[in-house]
A and B are shown apart, each in its own frame.
Chain A
Amino acid sequence: MMARNAKRKRSIMQRILLSLLIIAVLTTSFLVASLSVGGAFTELTNNALDMLDERTQNKRQPLQDSMIDHWSNLESTAETIRSVINRHLVVKNLDIQDMKTDAALNAEIVMDIAPTLVSKLRAGGTTGIFVILNGIGIADQPDTWAGIYLRDADPSANNSTNSDLLMLRGLPPVSRELGVSLDSYWQASFTFTKDNGDYFFKPMEAVQMGTSDDPAHYGYWCMPFQLDENNPTAAMTYTMPILDKTGQVLGVIGVDITTSYLTSILNSGEFIRTEPGSYVLGIHRSDEGILVAAAAGSSYKQYFNPGETVLMPTQMWDSNSIALKGSRNGKTMYASVMPLQLYSPNTAFEDDQWVLMGMQPEDSLMAFSNKFRQLLAAAMITSMLLCVVVALISSRKMTKPITSLVKQVKDADPKTELQLDPTNIAEIDILAEAIEDLHHDVAESAERLASILEMTGMRVGVVEVPLDGDKAYCSPGFFELLACDEIPHEGDQISRETFRKVMLDCFTEAVDDDIWRFNVRGEELYLRYKQVGNEHKIVGTLMDVTDEMQKRMDLERARDVDSLTGIPNRRAFTRITQELFGRRRDEMGVTAMIMVDLDNLKYLNSTYGHDTGDSFIRAFAHALGAFEEDGHSVVARRSGDEFYMLLYGYENRDELEDHINAAWAQVATQGLLLPDGSFYRFRASGGLAWYPDDATTLSKLLHYADFAMYKVKQENKGSLARFDMSVYTEEAFLLNAREALDRLIDNQLMHYAYQPVVEVKSGEIWGYELLMRPDVPELKSPGAVLRLAKAQGKLHHIERITWFCGLESAKMNIERGMLKKDTKLFINSIASQKMDLVERQHIIDCYSDILPSVVLEVTESEDNNEDFTQRKIKFIRSNGGMVAIDDYGTGYNSELALVQIPCDIVKVDASFVRNVDTDINKQALVKNLISYARARNIAVLAEGVETREEMETLIGFGVDYLQGFYLGMPREKPQQLLQSVRQEVLNFSRRQQFL
């Protein structure tokens, strides 16, 4: 009963009062409705606002049409101007960039486009037109922009001469040519300050940010501004960039509408003349209000100061009606705000919401409805007051017997039968009887429940602590569970103080949110204690959950163990390591993160079956025990044949290193006795990363260990590798250098070094090998470029650049006289890449002179495309060039290539030249090659000659050409052969003839 009373939120009196008030309001409303004619009251305001909307709409449509279809219709003029500019640039063979510095060029362009602008101004209905070129206005004055600005104060009057026009900006010859007089604030060129450059810079900036190639998408309506601080005429402008075919900004074209002309356009119609209405054109910013571009109408002048730039709504009526407070007289004006759709969606300036506002003073707009509202308010207030009084009296009368009943119920003793006084209100007396019955039933069922609980054998205890007394009521089970026979209690009651003490003494070890561990007579016991309460009492239940907890703990243990090996699994490892890297970080000291992977499991699985494989894994897991040291290690199986080991808490790295090496060696001696009786040793690869030297976070450490293992798997299976940051960085770099490669390709950021090829017979330089040198800091070697390009499928670009840049470089050097025309040029082609017809034609067009000197170096490789290679060879041959097989003797470039590829020269790889003077095997190979080549009329070139001895030996064997550091380093410019070296070559060569 107490609880039900406590939940009461609102008194009966309040309820009755409220109902009566609602009735009062309804009655008043009804009264008002019957007063107002057919409920038209609310409509009055809306009608007034609708009328304002309609008037605004009537003005808005033609204005918007003018702005969009008429004033800002500049595309075709812009196109004309674009073509004029283009013609000038083409005729003079100049570039857009030249406009930045060539004032004379810009002057000619402006002179040419001026008549177009005059006719556009005549047709466009605007008060001004201008074009600003993206280029200098006056020679040597860098902050001037070239262009022309014409003004027609009265667009409605058309003059056959240009006598009504003024030139605001532009060079004097233009004004003479057009017969246009100079404005009193005329200047020869455009200059901009921070405040008045928007109309020029904003659309230009928008082009830089935008993606569209339609200049109209960058069109910009600029709020009225003064062209310069002296010029009192303010005008709003529309500007649109003029773009060339590639999207570069040639300049802007724009029109202006002076504020006074704009005002005169707004300042017409019945609304303005008769209704004291006004119009305002401006930009609506939801947070800043309405920025005023132009305003017309006498009421506006009465309400607002002429210099007002921002109007702040004081009230939003509906989506387009607002109220404003006049800054001059503090009175209210209503405005209908109609948006002008000047910008297409998703264009640069669509956030500038231009609006037209029709405005009317509240006095005139709302005169009728205001009077009505006042009348209504008076009626409502009177009837409400009346209702409140009546409601107060009647509700008090009603609630009095109920409150007395409530008091009786509250004071009732739960142990005794309840007897309530009659109230003589029929419904409430029935309720009182029901309460008496309920009281009886509740007492009975409580007893029943207690005995049922006892019978089920569930060990449950309940305690109830009323907050306003000093007693607590406990069920017998409560004391039983706590096994505290000695608690002083009196039946089911104990004192609150004792209860508190018991709770504090017994509940010491929390396992979970509400589960506590107890040690009762040497037995582990888990009890769940839950309590709920309100402002009057707390009820707690205590339940024995020992069985449940034990099951749960068993399960948890099982989840952390790998079922195959019995060592911790990945989950356990993650949990422990996270703990270590988290709150136990102090314990870590020097730590090694090791990742191990069996090398030969696959073989075992396929040969002896998976059972054997499993045994092998099990045995290996056992063997890894060698790494374990109590309290310093976690060894876990990650998955399959991968294992994690974390060895932590060591004083120094050496100590741990010794331990690891010993353990690794020990593991390596062990193995598994296979079913066939043979002994199979463990062979595993591992990666190791150090904490804190390599990394301090778990994820990085894992990543690094994994990386080290991955590297060792690639290169040196069966060992334990330490993580090497430099290797990692190199690898990571290669992955990340994509951007650098793109830059290299896009801008052809490479040049060529020339390494001489010397003809043995003459001792002269016969040719140069062109070696690619990347100019991108991230990519140091050609190898890196090629590897990366291959990985990213961009080899074709490299091949193309190789040809064009290489040949261009050679051509330049020939033109500069640094290279003789018939000197051979060895160019490294990428065999897997083709050249298409267009590229081949381009090469013929540009470099036909030097093609006969080209020696195409072909490299065989696994992904070679026979067809592409053959075609390239054919192409070079048909243009008089030669073909060489590169890197002969390595990898794929073997005898087979020599047979398959029709070539003129074979280049012996540097690895065979190294120490050829002492290595008999290499000598044999070179000799064989030379005799083979001689028979087929193929010349032999030895690469990588670094010592005098190597050179002597090679010449002795009859090599035709030599290349290498000994003969000349690769240089940016083709170098001459050292006289001494030349002499040596000749000496060795001649001696050869004697033999």
Chain B
Amino acid sequence: MKRFLSILLALTLFSVTASAQTVKLSPDNPQVLTLWHYYNGMQQQTFDQLVLEFNETVGMEKGIIIEPMSQGGVNDLTDKLMDAANRKTGADNMPDIFAAYADTAHAVNKMGLVADISAYMTEEEQAEYMDSYMAEGRLDAQGGLKVFPIAKSTEMTLINKTEWDAFVADTGADINKLATWEGVVEISKAYYEWSGGKAFFGRDAFANYILIGSLQLGVEMFQVENDVMTLNIDDQVMRRLWDNYVVPYVNGWFGAYGRFRSDDVKTGQLVALVGSTSGALYFPKEVTRDDGSTYAIESLALPLPNFEGTSPCAVQQGAGMVVTKSTPEKEYAATVFLKWFTEVENNIAFSLSSGYLPVKKAANDPEVLHEIAIERGVTGLLHDIIHTGAQITSTYRLYTNNAFDNGYEARQVVDTSMVEAAEHAKVELALLVEAGMAREEAIERLTGDEAFEAWLAKFKADMEQVLNN
């Protein structure tokens, strides 16, 4: 008996040091794990379908039941999660697994609530995943994998081709201009004039415009090394970003009307947008007018615009899955599920119906992706997206800033500051024009040097405040 125990102990120790840790689970008394995600609509459908498949096969066999729950959107998920982590009165218990961006994961990790997944994975297994994605998940300087990548996305331009074609037919506009931000502004202006005052372009996830733009123009705004973040704000760079967003916005060449720009394209308010590949799926097949009547449109996907004279750069985004620190049984069960979910076949299945890009090296070859898409009869816009996505991953530098303290709040400032200034200026413009000022003069006053400097000062102050909180 003693001898048997010692062998068992030795085996256990061996398994921890030499390979991944496994824990004995009971199929009769299954581990039930709650999982919070932010997928909606078709993505949620596919995700839930895969979870169901897991529960019925591997889960059933090993005694694991995953209970997924959509929390609506990323922000809702984050708020609810932080409430749970802080044990706010009335908040839910922490889920066993949750979707999170690096900054949220970072914040929760600081509270000591995140399990280290690398304990349950061999070195070989870890090496199967895209290096940059895994790197994003290693939050601490001392290593350890805290965020498990399951799907990634980047940004691209999507266009109402039907409207675009009509515009081109009349004006001969050059589609290649849409490759640069300066070109987008120029085209938008031309469209505004052609259409009698309608905006051409809009974008969401504004922080990406600032962060990627700044990086592309030579300055990494949030520079993180060894858990320490250095804030770099360059006035010249910021001015170029200003001139290519605020100016066309106040002029009415760019627009933002509904909650998301895809809504604006859907309702015929905009012609083109920049958005996530994962959102591209929702690019409409028809435009609905304000009275509810509709007309069909064709669509077109293009790579993300860059600033003139810079090398291409795009955001790498998409939340990963974080496992809450709990019992070895639960942590192990969580990794079993996450590994299963990212198996090439399952991961591509999720990608092709969600617009997300897979995470394993084997699955991430653009050619392979393209081929599988064709094989599965995926055509039209989704094929376009996959194709363009592949183009971006292969030719662009993919960037995401490393996590740092108050990163979420800092990103919020970046996300809203310039957008709010632009919106404010637009409202002011209407008032000034009404008061009798010439439109050009009013625009100059609201977007010129003085206005820019006032905004920049406020931006820096806000950023300072958030970071020192």
Contacts and interface: CB of A to CB of B under 8 A. Distances in A.
Decide whether A and B are members of one complex: yes
B21 interface: no
B291 A175 contact: no
B73 A189 contact: no
B72 A164 contact: yes
A337 B266 CA distance: 47
B44 A232 contact: yes
A152 interface: yes
Given A171-B291, A172-B290, A153 B70 contact: yes
Given A163-B259, A182-B258, A154 B292 contact: no
B42 interface: yes
Interface in B281-336: 281-282, 288-294
Interface string A416-458: 0000000000000000000000000000000000000000000
A188 B92 CA distance: 35
* Residue among B30, B41, B75, B92 having the largest count of chain A Cβ atoms under 10 Å: B41
B259 A301 contact: no
Interface string B80-98: 1000000000001000000
Contact of B32 (A182, A298, A306): A298
A27 interface: no
Nearest to B45: A232
A988 to B, nearest CB: 72
Given A181-B258, A182-B266, A164 B288 contact: no
Interface string A95-117: 00000000110010000000000
Interface residues on A, range: 35 or more
Interface in A128-153: 137-139, 141, 144, 152-153
Interface in A160-198: 162-164, 166, 171-173, 175-176, 179-186, 188-189
Given A107-B291, A171-B291, A267 B67 contact: yes
B58 to A, nearest CB: 14
B442 interface: no
B67 to A, nearest CB: 7
Contact of A184 (B41, B52, B289, B292): B41
Contacts of B73: 153, 163-164
A301 B288 CA distance: 42
B132 interface: no
B158 to A, nearest CB: 14
A825 to B, nearest CB: 51
A264 B41 contact: no
Given A172-B267, A184-B41, A298-B65, A103 B291 contact: yes
B54 to A, nearest CB: 12
A188 B288 contact: yes
B30 A298 contact: yes
Given A137-B292, A157-B76, A232-B41, A176 B30 contact: no
B294 A188 contact: yes
B25 interface: no
Tell me what chain A mostly uses at the interface: helix, strand, loop, or mixed: mixed
A301 B259 CA distance: 38
Given A172-B267, A175-B263, A188 B292 contact: yes
A176 B259 CA distance: 7
A260 interface: yes
B292 A176 contact: no
A99 B44 CA distance: 37
A301 B55 CA distance: 9
Contact of B76 (A144, A164, A186, A302): A164
A156 interface: yes
B171 interface: no
B462 interface: no
Contacts of A183: 41
A153 B71 contact: yes
A973 to B, nearest CB: 45
B122 interface: no
Contacts of A153: 40, 70-73, 76
Contact of B292 (A103, A156, A162, A175): A103
Contact of A181 (B55, B260, B289, B290): B260
Interface in B1-34: 29-30, 32
A593 to B, nearest CB: 73
Nearest to A185: B41
B263 A181 contact: yes
A156 B80 contact: yes
Nearest to B71: A154
Contacts of B42: 184, 232
Given A103-B291, A157-B79, A301-B55, A180 B259 contact: yes
B194 interface: no
B69 interface: yes
A166 B292 CA distance: 17
Nearest to A106: B292
27 contacts: A103-B291, A144-B292, A153-B40, A153-B70, A154-B71, A157-B79, A157-B80, A159-B75, A159-B76, A162-B259, A164-B75, A171-B292, A173-B290, A176-B267, A179-B258, A179-B259, A180-B259, A182-B259, A182-B260, A182-B266, A182-B267, A183-B41, A186-B266, A233-B41, A260-B70, A298-B32, A302-B30
Given A180-B259, A184-B42, 11 more contacts: A139-B291, A153-B70, A164-B73, A166-B40, A172-B263, A175-B258, A184-B281, A298-B30, A298-B65, A301-B55, A306-B52
